[in-house]
Amino acid sequence: MKHINKYQLIVFFFALQLQGQDVLKLEDAVKIALENNYDIKIAKNNLKIDETNSTAGNAGMFPTLSATVANNNSILNTTQTQASGDKRTLDNAINMNLTYGVGLDWTIFDGMRMFARREQLKVLQKQGEAELKLAIITRISDVYATYFDLVQQQQQIKALDTAIVISNQRLTTAQNRYSIGKAAKLEVLNAQVDLNTDVSSRLKQLELYQNSKIRLNEILARDTKLDFKVKDKITIDASLKYDELKSLSEKQNPQLQAQLLEKNNAELQLKQVKAGRYPTVRINSGYNFTRSEASLGFVTQSSGRGFVYGINASVPIFDGFNQNRNEKVAKLQVENVENTINQQKIALESQLGMAYQSYLTNLELTKVEEKNSEIAKQNLDITLAKFKIGTITPIEYRTAQLNFVNALVRYSNAQFQTKLFEISLKELSGTLGF
């Protein structure tokens, strides 16, 4: 009787513990991940960096304005020979040259490099947006998978709880039969061993369950010791169509979109390299103040102020064939990105096709296992009734019990696997999320 009470208390306290915990809804878990997850925070900051860098000034389209001050002084022992042949000598002659002003420099033509650079900065910003979307979808996928893994494990713990209750009933029946002389001690011992086996299985499952909760808390970037429970039901979207998913993946798959943007980036880089064949034209102007003093000379002091301006142009003629080499490298980089895009398209189609086939298979398996669990329950009820009146052996009863528990576990696992492939399909098509 002590053993029965102990195992009944195990099941009772676990059920009581679940009732006392807060239920973490899937949508709440996703919201927490979007707010807290560090990968998403990093991707958001990287996007802000790209947005900050995407300016005309960073592309070199604006002039630069700078203020300058230069003050040069000297103390020299000076000897001057004049045209008349006279010599003038002065020790510790003090000389001073002071220049200050405001200057403007502006590159007005550089072979259209600045415009290609401006477009490249915009593409980099779009790449940041694509990378943020990829980070979000990846993390949401992790939340989904871990959350429904917890649902599955919670269901399996309940199935094992049911097995413990049934094994308790069997042990009680065996002890009663033994006490009135209708069963041997061996029957009681076998019932006790099977009960201990069920408790051991439950403890192992509970360990996996607790570790998965720690993992989900880690993904949500919150206290890993925070306790909670999840909903008990796995809802499956059985309406997914391959053609629709394929069409959406070509337009919305974040990895493919990132590769397409990388191609734009490589093409704009090629334009910037080709700009090296054209002349560069710059203008400069400013307003300067100058003052100089000398202890020895015809002019001991002078000053001036006014505008200065100029224009300069340079044309590349020969640079050791580096221009040709740089263009060849840039063209090969464009070609590599195109090859990567084609490779990504084939890989995406392959992943989508395999995931969809597994999705369909597990949909059917879910239906089969659901019906099988119902049959196993009916079989267990009939077997239990026969066991109580002694018309079947304990081995037959244990077989029916294991068939029922295994059917529940297979049904739960089939639901979970179907959900995983559903998540994978939505992730590949870029439609996963709230």
Local confidence pLDDT in tens for the 434 residues of the chain: 444 445 454 555 455 555 556 899 999 999 999 999 999 999 999 999 999 999 999 999 999 999 999 999 888 887 777 777 778 787 887 888 899 999 999 999 999 999 999 999 999 999 999 999 999 999 999 999 999 999 999 999 999 999 999 999 889 888 988 898 887 899 899 999 999 999 999 999 999 999 999 999 999 999 999 999 999 899 999 999 999 999 999 999 989 999 999 999 999 999 999 999 999 999 999 999 998 877 766 667 888 889 989 999 999 999 999 999 999 999 999 999 999 999 999 999 999 999 999 999 999 999 999 999 999 999 999 998 888 787 888 889 899 999 999 999 999 999 999 999 999 999 999 988 65
Q: Where do we find the tokens 């807290």?
A: 36
125 Cβ contact list (under 8 Å, min separation 6): 47, 50, 51, 53, 54
- Backbone phi, psi, residue 430, to 5°: 70, 25
Per-residue DSSP letter, 56: T
Rounded CA-CA distance 62/73 in Å is: 35
Rounded CA-CA distance 431/349 in Å is: 16
Distance of CA 184 to the CA centre of its chain: 62
Q: Which residues, listed in sequence order, are joined to residue 313 by a DSSP beta bridge?
A: 281
Tokens of 37: 């997850």
Rounded CA-CA distance 31/110 in Å is: 48
Which pTM value belongs to this model? 0.82
